[in-house]
Structure 1
Amino acid sequence: MRFFRPRPLIAAAVAALVVAAVTHLATILSFFVGSNPQATVLLQINNFFVPSTVVLLVFVFIFALFTRLTRWYTAAIAGLVSGVLAALVGTGIQALVQGNTLDGGVISYLFSTLGSINLIFVLTATVATATIGRRVCVSMSSSAIVPRSVSGTVLVRRPPKNLSEGIVTHLERSEIDVELADEQWESYVAALIGAGWKPIEVDVADTLADSVFVEDSVVVFGRLAVLASPAAPSRVAEIDGVEKAVRAMGLDVTHIVQPGTLDGGDVLKIDRRVYVGRGGRTNAEGIRQLRHILSPFGYTVIAVPTSKALHLKSAVTALPDGTVIGYPPVVDDPKIFDRFLAVPEEAGSHVVVLSDDTVLMSSAAPESAQLIESLGYRVIAVDISEFEKLEACVTCLSVRVR
């Protein structure tokens, strides 16, 4: 079962240990400071709260294991419930050890302690679980690249020697470090491999500056590869190498043809809905042809105005559950999508879905990554700064074939 894999177990255990330790220390120190500061007082308070702390560790571990403490409010509820139960059980153990019987009077006393001696313990447990515990659990569950069985194949294409000549439309041109770009591309592919994907390289095209952005050349629907029709004349020659690669994979192949234009970066697939950006790179005829190609397969093609970004997927992408994420200033109309989640950084609009619980993102969007992690997803961050200077994002550098 998913819950009992090593990483979630370790994350839950560490989060529980941290919460228990912080709660115990904060509680005894608050009593120590508020009373006569003597070593004997500290020892007595420590001994009183040890059973409650041990019980708290167990309950927080259980909550962390099954909920991952992904949202602050659910983590706060988990902390409150754990704190109350731990305080009642721990204080009850102390009462029984002292020779009392668990009768009505003792039970009444136990509940009364929630507003007195155990109040600080419960409040600290709640806050610690919602803050430190949640952060520890989420970060340990999602920070590393976890090797997986092969999820599918992924098309990639090495950066050309003339990468710095790539087209720039919405940004001012800046200097490209081609050697660094090569290193970043290698790291990007390594991240895909680490997440269980098998890369297939399209032949490098050293005279085609934008050819590394292989996503624009083809869109794959199951076993059907739809080859694009670039609006930019300098990119037309990119299609031949990609067609050779997808045919070698045994995919069925069809084309968008002139006067229709379509870039793969304008196509966002969510189940059987296909959102297509109508903007500078994709025209109405290209969308009409794609709709004609896909309708027999049960896909619904939805045209989306795209005027504030190079491609639709420069503005929005989708999480594994179908939620569309985007940076509002570059999204023409968020209401088009059934579920839209605003992210705080433009680079945070772009994710590559690697599995049901894992996405690939740019390291340039740490706040957005934290937001997505809080939803229960594992985030793998990669540095693609040199490609971002050419208006590219993580989706541009690969095409997944399941």
Structure 2
Amino acid sequence: MTSSWGRRLIASLVAALVVVLVVHAAMIAAFYVGSLAGSSAPSGALIVAVSNYFSLTSVIAFVLLWVAGFVGAFDRWWTALIAGVLAAVLAPAVGTILTATSGGSPFSGDLIAAVLGTLLGINLLYAVAVTALTPTFGRWLFRVVEGTRSRFETDRKVALVRIPAGNLAEGLVTHIDREPVDAELADAQWDAYVAALSEAGWQTVEVTSADTLADSVFVEDTAVVFGDTAVITLPGAESRRAEVVGTEAALRAQGLRLERIEAPGTLDGGDVLKVGSTVYVGRGGRTNAEGIRQLRALVAPLGYTVVAVPITKALHLKTAVTALPDGTVIGYEPIVDEPRVFERFLPVPEAHGTAVVVLSDDTVLMSSSAPQSVALVEDLGYTVIQVDISEFEKLEGCVTCLSIRIR
């Protein structure tokens, strides 16, 4: 937590400082250019005078934006806009009042009226600039600095995983018959899955174990990552909602900015399939319409388009379909409600062959229980790393369910 708050402090400081410096410089430039149209040539004295006039205003604006950023105003564009408007109005007003009273002018109704008049006059351009820059450039810069590790370490590949719970066999099943689960074999398969990710160049980070939460090994359902932003889900199954606590802590430790789905919305990460800037979201038993609406509102400012997909024949969207590195969606047609919704759809011959974890541009991870599907993907020119996850497949799990990938 300390490092997270430290990053937020630094990010808000940098964003506030740069916004104020840009606006301050813009004011000097605006008055300088304006003087070029006047009768006399601009001089250095003009630059100094303009800078001095806005100096106190800029200091106040910096403090206001710094505090606003630190308390979370830059987390959403609309709260950043509110912060920008408040700073744009308060900083020039307070700065002008302090300058006037320090020069001997009495604090009175006439002074307040005169100050309000400057907001429609000499201070108007300053206020407009702060209002415009804060929710746009300022918020963008804040997010870059707060998420420096994920923004600039482009070779960084992290996979969050969670060790199977002791009561794994009690996990929920919906669309298949319950089968006995071999807990010892499941542990061995999980170890092999984690090892496969590590050998493929991914740093594996364990989310704190939850030994009484049977489905907690399927960590993908608890969050969805979009660049340096993670959306904490609200699982559709009430028994799984406590799982998000550990995932949230792990994602915060990775330096990601966090958003969340709120009730009455529900969303399972297994229902979210990202293909480029398109986000397909399964509307089924675990994810409802309100959850999709909230996700759409959260990721649209990040440049993503959400497409809702009906799911009635499988637990999650990614039980039925996933995507290859080139964006081709693959799926087992008997459990895909509407394959025409996808731009490019390729059927695979086995139910367990629908899921791939994209490890790189030319390498994917697949279940060894779908040899024909593996052969099909290999024939498309991809390297396939196979893992045996049979015990998790008995609980409607697949290779994507067992990790959250951060790129």
Q: How high is the TM-score relative to the length of structure 1?
A: 0.63
Out of 199, 202, 206, the residue aligned to residue 211 of structure 2 is 206
* Equivalence for 1:262: 267
Question: Hey, what's the Cα distance between the residues in 2 that align with 1:372 and 1:232?
Answer: 33
AA of the residue aligned to 1:231 = G
Do structure 1's residue 285 and structure 2's residue 259 form an aligned pair? no
Give, in whole Å, the separation in 1 of the partners of 2:392 and 2:156.
Answer: 26
**Structure 1 residue 313 displacement after superposition:** 0.2
CA separation in 1, counterparts of 2:258 and 2:156?
22
2:246 is paired with a residue of what secondary structure? helix
Other-structure match for 1:330: 335
Residue in structure 2 matched with residue 234 of structure 1 by the alignment: 239
Is 1:363 aligned to residue 380 of structure 2?
no
**1:398 aligns with one of 388, 400, 403:** 403
Equivalent position SS for 1:160? coil
Q: Deviations over 1:9-48 (max 9, x none)?
A: xxxxxxxxxxxxxxxxxxxxxxxxxxxxxxxxxxxxxxxx
Aligned equivalent of 2:347: 342
Are 2:325 and 1:320 aligned?
yes
Q: 1:383 — aligned with what? A: 388
Structure 2 counterpart of 1:340, which letter? F
Aligned mates of 2:250, 2:405 — CA distance in 1: 13
- The Cα shift of 1:151 comes to 4.9
Sequence identity percentage: 67
1:238-288 CA-to-partner distances (Å, cap 9, x unmatched) read: 010101110111110010010000000000001100000000000000000
Give the letter aligned to residue 223 of structure 2. Answer: V
SS in 2 for 1:395: coil
Cα distance in structure 2, aligned partners of 1:377 and 1:293: 33
> Given residue 290 of structure 1, which amino acid in structure 2 is its aligned partner?
L
Distance 2:196 2:228 in 1: 24
Quick one: distance in 1 between partners of 2:338 and 2:155? 37
Query: C-alpha offsets along residues 188-228 of structure 1, whole Å, 9 cap, x if unaligned?
Result: 00000010000010001000000000000000000101000
Q: Distance in 2 between matches of 1:226 and 1:321?
A: 24
Q: Secondary structure at the match of 2:191?
A: helix
Q: How far apart, in 1, do the equivalents of 2:313 and 2:164 lie?
A: 26
C-alpha deviations, 1:337-376, integer Å up to 9, x for none? 0000000001110000000000000000000000000000
Match status 1:194 vs 2:203:
no
- Matched residues in 2 for 1:316 and 1:231: separation? 20
Which residue number corresponds to residue 88 of structure 2?
A: none
Aligned equivalent of 1:247: 252
- Contact 1:362–1:384 (CA<8 Å) still a contact in 2? yes
Amino acid at match of 1:365: A
Alignment partners' CA distance in 1, 2:237 and 2:335: 22
1:57-76 maps to which residues of 2 (within 5 A)? none
Task: Decide whether the 8 Å contact of 1:359 with 1:377 is kept in 2.
Answer: yes
- How many Å separate the matches in 2 of 1:172 and 1:367? 24
SS in 2 for 1:396: coil
Q: Distance in 1 between matches of 2:302 and 2:360?
A: 23
The residue type paired with residue 372 of structure 2 is E
Aligned residue for 1:301?
306
Taking the aligned partners of 1:231 and 1:400, their CA distance within structure 2 comes to 21
Specify the code of the residue in structure 1 equivalent to 2:286.
Answer: R
Return the offset for 1:150. Answer: 6.2
Structure 2 CA distance, aligned partners of 1:255 and 1:267?
14
| Contact 1:324/1:339 (<8 A) preserved | yes
Task: Classify 1:227/1:308 alpha carbon distance in 2 versus 1 (closer, same or farther; 3 Å).
Answer: same
TM-aligned CA distance change 1:301 to 1:259, over 3 Å = same
Amino acid across the alignment from 1:287: I
The alpha carbon displacement at 1:231 in A equals 1.4
2:253, 2:302 → 1: CA distance? 23
| AA of the residue aligned to 1:165 | E
The answer to whether the Cα contact below 8 Å between 1:323 and 1:340 also exists between their aligned partners in 2 is yes
Say which SS state the counterpart of residue 220 (structure 1) adopts.
Answer: strand
Residues 150-229 of structure 1: pairs in structure 2 closer than 5 A? 151-229=156-234
TM-score by length of 2: 0.62
Q: Distance in 1 between matches of 2:369 and 2:313?
A: 20
CA contact (8 A) 1:150 1:196 kept: no
Q: Does 1:275 align with 2:291?
A: no
Q: Determine the C-alpha separation between the residues in 1 that align with 2:200 and 2:162.
A: 18
The answer as to whether partners of 1:151 and 1:196 remain within 8 angstroms in 2 is: no
CA contact (8 A) 1:150 1:198 kept: no
The within-5 A match list for 1:116-155 is: 151-155=156-160
For these two proteins, the number of residue pairs brought into alignment is 254
3-state SS, counterpart of residue 210 of structure 1? coil
* Deviation sequence 1:64-95 (CA, Å, 0-9, x none): xxxxxxxxxxxxxxxxxxxxxxxxxxxxxxxx
Instruction: Specify whether residues 156 and 337 from structure 1 end up closer, same or farther in structure 2 by C-alpha distance, changes over 3 A only.
Output: same
Q: Distance in 1 between matches of 2:357 and 2:236?
A: 24
